[in-house]
Structure 1
Amino acid sequence: MSFKSLGLSEALVKAVSAQGYDTPTPIQAKSIPPVLEGKDVLASAQTGTGKTAGFTLPMLQLLSQQQPLRKRPVRALILTPTRELAAQVHKNVKDYSQFLDLRSTVIFGGVNQKPQVSKLKNGVDVLIATPGRLIDLNNQGLLSLSEVEILVLDEADRMLDMGFLRDIKKIMGLIPKQRQTLLFSATFSKDIRKLANEFQNNPVSVESTPENTTVEAIEQQVYRVAKEKKTGLLIKLISEGNWEQILVFTRTKHGANKLVKKLEAAKISAAAIHGNKSQAARTKALAGFKSGQVNVLVATDIASRGLDIPLLPYVVNFEIPNVSEDYVHRIGRTGRAGASGLAVSLVSADETVFLRDIEKLIGEKLPVEILEGFEPDPNASTKPFNPQKRGRKPRHNSRSGNHNARPSKSNANKSRR
């Protein structure tokens, strides 16, 4: 099978080839034809499966088949949950449309809006946006969505997790009811199906892999360890294993900062990326990680979405997630494009229940190891960590954990995860 056989134009096939791709991935092969037919699509695709091209390629073809309007109103809108993912999707759109007469731009919070507004005024066919900045600019009368023909909700499950449902509904009210709606999610959860039923018209459902399965190329390893010994164990694994380019996950922003300081004290170059970091700091940290100047990138779940790190060899769950699906998202950062990868989880007594839930979700028992000197505390409680007691709001509250939207004054100084 080739991209041309899927019905893509010569210009798009040429652009894809220029990026080094010649064979469609399963999600691309399944999603491109129905999108080209103008159908709504509900797709389940995990990180690293090539999902972005699955909707950008056919979307660009549909737009290019029409003569561009003189003022170039926004005809395609792609919503993403995070700045990093928005920037990455925009890069893909630019790469794939290089031989087409189409304009695109990206807007997100955390940076000056003036350059973004300037590009919008010049006219764009494709707009990639985070919900918060999109609504802000619309409220200021700086953009119009009245001509949108194609709407894409990318990583829709994460947008719901981050409390964007109210924003999504508001945006839906700003665009024409007669449109093509593409919804991409890592899972077909009840909330996702409810969203699809509300905003899509007889969508074609496609899946790249069975729901919630993990990539076979990823080796998974669990280390049972006392909570206070996790940092020491991580340093040992990195140093003695000569690990390079490690993405480490923590639950909180404070935890990420704290871990970076301890790693740097052990002469391991590290940087943190999370919602409290400025966009410039996040961009610098990611650039340093990609170039090898930074060996360890410590991230929270929200900030990690959209990170484009090819052939990432190591993912470490310094703290395993209390939402099992997040484990699949995290380890999906490695083992891409047929390459092997190692996903390591450091599990303390209070995370026992979370580990059991993860194993139930992925349908396999993970290998467990205990290293001498880093044994788990036999007297530690196995009562699970409770985010509610730490001031965390429920995941589905509006704007909960949303670092692209502006918090209310009463919550502005509270720690967000």
Structure 2
Amino acid sequence: MDFSEFNFESSLQEGLDAMGFEQPTPIQEKAIPVILKQRDLIACAQTGTGKTAAFILPVLNKISKSGKTTLNTLILAPTRELAIQIDQQIQGFAYFLGISSIPIYGGGDGIVWEQQKKALELGAEIVVATPGRLIALLAGGKMDLSTLEHLILDEADRMLDMGFSDDILKIVNYLPKNRQTILFSATMPPKIRQFSMKLLQNPEEITIALGKTATGVTQAFYSVYDEQKEALVKHILSQKEYEAVIIFASTKEKVKSIFKILRKGFDVEAFHSDLEQVEREKIMSDFKNKSIKILVGTDIISRGIDVVGIELVINYDTPNDPEDYVHRVGRTARADMEGEAITFVNPKDQYKFRRIEELIGMEVNQMPLPEGFEKGPEYSRNGFSKKNKPSFKQKNHSKSKFKRKPHPKSSHQKERNETKNNQSETSQKPSSSKFSNRKNVID
């Protein structure tokens, strides 16, 4: 089907045509009719499937058809980055509609706080908020939610993991009981289903590609000792002039450490919670514009950021939760493009990686360490390796200067080609121009 079959208002359809939207993704095709029917909905879809547009478009259509200018929709998101992104997408879709939205989030200074309060006083049809900041505004009597018709929870599993369940329930107490509630989640553990029973009434359920990584991702891993990770990440980044790379680490302290290691030879920035909001926005803007090539961060950037053309994701640390792996890898190969995902697996994290393989339903290809590296630990899919850890000796890298020049005939490039062949990826590496040909997936 195509978007015209949803019978959207002409002004909204005009915007979709202008943005090049032709055919809906599976989650859009299934969720949009349910939302248009005013039914409560639980939808489970991984990142990169177009789920944000799946709930924004029908809501915009209903607001446009009603002609009302009062507050109509509240969207809750776990992080300020996701709240800002959703707000930006609403502005894009609503360009021809005259519908306004306001992002409400914490982390800014007093000026940001005053700007948010003033924007609420001027009015908007849609508010996109993080739970903590919204609670503060509600407690101060700065919002009237009596006209609200839609409550949308995006990344609900993440909000519960971050401890927002009590805040969400407090917010719900301010809302009209007669409303439509829509819950989107990337995973559907029992706690989400139990929580949804407190908010939704007789909801329909939709599940799309739960726990699967995008087909365009070439996945591989190295079995390494922690002492080898520093040289290995430098080696990988020195093999090609990457335009966009994300390196995920387990803690903000590790993020800062990797940044210090790489900044001498690469165009890199660190993204973590210790940065001021204005700094975080500047870094994310520069990364989207490709003026920063490499971004190092925690799982705070594994969900919600919408950057086209990320060629490589490196898991410097194996994620604790298998679902987090899916979200990290989901930063690349978006909109039916191609990308690479490489994970460093140390001996103590082997069981975590086996759980990841179970979730995604495939065995990820192991790559041999490049020439000049001491042999890494033995990787076992049947249990922990009992081989004693050898003394670490790094050959030919202690005085190396890693320069970002392409090496088309390098051993690492050959390894990546072998990985692509093993995963039935026969297409050639896309050129940088391909990343500008964005399709209709917005998440």
Partner in structure 2 of residue 145 of structure 1 = 145
Q: Distance in 2 between matches of 1:312 and 1:90?
A: 22
Residue among 87, 95, 98 paired with 1:98: 95
User: Residue 379 in 1 paired to residue 378 in 2?
Assistant: no
- Please show how residues 311-326 of structure 1 align to structure 2 within 5 Å: 311-326=309-324
Partner in structure 1 of residue 42 of structure 2 = 42
- Please show how residues 40-79 of structure 1 align to structure 2 within 5 Å: 40-69=40-69, 72=70, 74-79=71-76
User: Residue 361 in 1 paired to residue 391 in 2?
Assistant: no
Q: Distance in 2 between matches of 1:105 and 1:379?
A: 57
Q: Distance in 2 between matches of 1:292 and 1:31?
A: 33
Tell me the TM-score normalised to structure 2 length.
0.82
Q: Distance in 1 between matches of 2:367 and 2:99?
A: 53
State the percentage of identical aligned residues: 40
The question of whether the paired residues in 2 share the 8 Å contact of 1:226 and 1:375 is answered with no
The question of whether the paired residues in 2 share the 8 Å contact of 1:219 and 1:341 is answered with yes
User: Residue 109 in 1 paired to residue 106 in 2?
Assistant: yes
Q: Distance in 2 between matches of 1:122 and 1:264?
A: 44
The question of whether the paired residues in 2 share the 8 Å contact of 1:317 and 1:344 is answered with yes
| Greater mean alpha carbon deviation, residues 240-249 or residues 370-379 | 370-379
Partner in structure 2 of residue 222 of structure 1 = 221
Measured after TM superposition, the shift of residue 349 of structure 1 is 1.0
Deviations 1:50-82 (A, max 9, x none): 11110000011112222325xx2x210000001
Q: SS at 2:159's partner residue?
A: helix
The question of whether the paired residues in 2 share the 8 Å contact of 1:275 and 1:303 is answered with no
Q: Distance in 2 between matches of 1:380 and 1:245?
A: 35
Tell me the TM-score normalised to structure 1 length.
0.87
Q: What is the one-letter code of the residue matched to 2:250?
A: R
Deviations 1:204-255 (A, max 9, x none): 111232x211111111000111101101101101102333311110010011
Q: SS at 1:240's partner residue?
A: coil
Structure 2 stretches lacking a partner, 5+ long: 378-386, 391-443
Q: Distance in 2 between matches of 1:374 and 1:123?
A: 62
The question of whether the paired residues in 2 share the 8 Å contact of 1:225 and 1:374 is answered with no
Q: Distance in 2 between matches of 1:145 and 1:305?
A: 28
Q: What is the one-letter code of the residue matched to 2:32?
A: I
Deviations 1:13-39 (A, max 9, x none): 111122221111111111101100101
Q: SS at 1:199's partner residue?
A: coil
Residue among 80, 84, 88 paired with 1:83: 80
Deviations 1:321-364 (A, max 9, x none): 11111001110111111111101001111111111111111111
Partner in structure 2 of residue 197 of structure 1 = 197
Partner in structure 2 of residue 295 of structure 1 = 293
Partner in structure 1 of residue 262 of structure 2 = 263
Q: SS at 1:214's partner residue?
A: coil
The question of whether the paired residues in 2 share the 8 Å contact of 1:154 and 1:184 is answered with yes
The question of whether the paired residues in 2 share the 8 Å contact of 1:349 and 1:380 is answered with no
Partner in structure 2 of residue 399 of structure 1 = none
Q: Distance in 2 between matches of 1:144 and 1:203?
A: 26
Between Structure 1 and Structure 2, whose CA radius of gyration is higher?
A: 2
The question of whether the paired residues in 2 share the 8 Å contact of 1:237 and 1:243 is answered with no
Partner in structure 2 of residue 181 of structure 1 = 181
Partner in structure 2 of residue 28 of structure 1 = 28
Measured after TM superposition, the shift of residue 12 of structure 1 is 1.2
Structure 1 stretches lacking a partner, 5+ long: 382-417
Residue among 332, 350, 358 paired with 2:330: 332
Measured after TM superposition, the shift of residue 287 of structure 1 is 2.0
Residues 194 and 380 from structure 1, CA distance in 2 versus in 1: closer, same or farther, beyond 3 angstroms? farther
Q: Distance in 1 between matches of 2:341 and 2:163?
A: 28
Q: What is the one-letter code of the residue matched to 2:320?
A: N
The question of whether the paired residues in 2 share the 8 Å contact of 1:27 and 1:49 is answered with yes
Q: Distance in 2 between matches of 1:192 and 1:260?
A: 35
The question of whether the paired residues in 2 share the 8 Å contact of 1:7 and 1:33 is answered with no
Q: Distance in 1 between matches of 2:292 and 2:226?
A: 25
The question of whether the paired residues in 1 share the 8 Å contact of 2:302 and 2:331 is answered with no
Q: Distance in 2 between matches of 1:213 and 1:315?
A: 16
Q: What is the one-letter code of the residue matched to 1:104?
A: S
Q: Distance in 2 between matches of 1:243 and 1:56?
A: 33
Partner in structure 1 of residue 436 of structure 2 = none
The question of whether the paired residues in 1 share the 8 Å contact of 2:102 and 2:127 is answered with yes
Q: What is the one-letter code of the residue matched to 1:253?
A: K
Q: What is the one-letter code of the residue matched to 1:205?
A: E
Partner in structure 1 of residue 236 of structure 2 = 237
Q: Distance in 2 between matches of 1:288 and 1:199?
A: 39
CA RMSD of aligned residues (A): 1.5
Measured after TM superposition, the shift of residue 380 of structure 1 is 4.1
The question of whether the paired residues in 1 share the 8 Å contact of 2:244 and 2:309 is answered with no
Deviations 1:86-138 (A, max 9, x none): 01100111111122232211110011211111110011110000001101111
Q: Distance in 1 between matches of 2:174 and 2:131?
A: 12
Measured after TM superposition, the shift of residue 290 of structure 1 is 2.2
Q: Distance in 2 between matches of 1:143 and 1:274?
A: 30
The question of whether the paired residues in 2 share the 8 Å contact of 1:145 and 1:174 is answered with yes
| Greater mean alpha carbon deviation, residues 340-349 or residues 239-248 | 239-248
